[in-house]
A and B are shown apart, each in its own frame.
Chain A
Amino acid sequence: DSGVTQTPKHLITATGQRVTLRCSPRSGDLSVYWYQQSLDQGLQFLIQYYNGEERAKGNILERFSAQQFPDLHSELNLSSLELGDSALYFCASSARVDSSAFFGQGTRLTVV
C-alpha cells in the first residue's frame, strides 16, 4: 500500500458526461501528480500541484481540469467525455517536487 488513495476504483459513464476523480496523497506529501495510462500511450503526465498551486502541465486536454484543496487532496475533472478518454487515471504524490513519487491504485474510467 503506497498510502495514496484514489476513488472511485471503477467508473463507467456515457459520452458527453462529466466525472470527477479524487485523490488523497500520502500523509505529509505536498505534491500531487495526475497521469493517464492507456494501452497505446503508456503513462502520460497530465498535471501537477504543489501545496495547492498548479506547478506543471503536461498533455492535459482543455476538457480536463484539476485542483488541489487546502487539505491537499486533489480532484481531476473530466468533461465532455469521449470514447478515447477511457483509460486508467493515476494519482501520485511526493514530499517535494524532486523526490520520488508514489502512485495510487488508479481509477479505471470506461466511456461508453
Chain B
Amino acid sequence: GESVGLHLPTLSVQEGDNSIINCAYSNSASDYFIWYKQESGKGPQFIIDIRSNMDKRQGQRVTVLLNKTVKHLSLQIAATQPGDSAVYFCAESLTGANNLFFGTGTRLTVIP
C-alpha cells in the first residue's frame, strides 16, 4: 500500500522566519497531494493541494513543491506566525481512487 512519511516529527522556528516541512511518498503512481493543518482539538484543515502535472503551487504565504523524481513533497510557509503552530500532514491520492493516505504529521512550533 501507499506509504507517506515525514522526515521530521517536530520543527521549531522563530516567528517571522520561513518554515519548510518535508514529506516523502512511496507510490510513484500517486498524482494528487494535499497539505493539511491540524490544530489541537480540531479537524484537519485544507491548506493547499497540487497535482502531479505541476512542480509548484502557491497560496497565501504557502508554497507546495513537488519533486516526482525523488517522490518528495514540501510545504513552505513564509513569515511564520504563532498561529501557524500546529501539526501538518501531507496526504497522497491517486486519481480515480477514493481515499487519501496520510503521513504521520510534523508538529510545527513557532517561537515568539
Task: Give residues in A with beta carbon < 8 Å to B.
Answer: 2, 4, 31, 33, 35, 42-45, 48, 50, 55-56, 58, 90, 92, 97-98, 100-106
Would you call B63 an interface residue if the criterion is a C-beta within 8 Å of the partner chain's C-beta atoms? no
Interface Cβ pair total, 8 Å cutoff: 59
A-B contact pairs, 11 of them (CB 8 A): A2-B43, A2-B45, A33-B100, A45-B100, A45-B102, A55-B98, A56-B97, A92-B43, A92-B44, A97-B98, A100-B46
Interface residues on chain B, size class: 20 to 34
Interface-central residue, A101, A104, A105, by most chain B CB under 10 Å = A101
Q: How far is the CB of B52 from chain A (nearest CB, A)?
A: 12
Chain A residues with CB under 8 Å of B93's CB are: 98
B29-54 vs A, Cβ < 8 Å mask (1 yes, 0 no):
00010101000001111100100000
Chain B residues with CB under 8 Å of A56's CB are: 97-99
A42 touches which of B43, B96, B102 (Cβ 8 Å)? B102
Chain A residues with CB under 8 Å of B34's CB are: 100-101
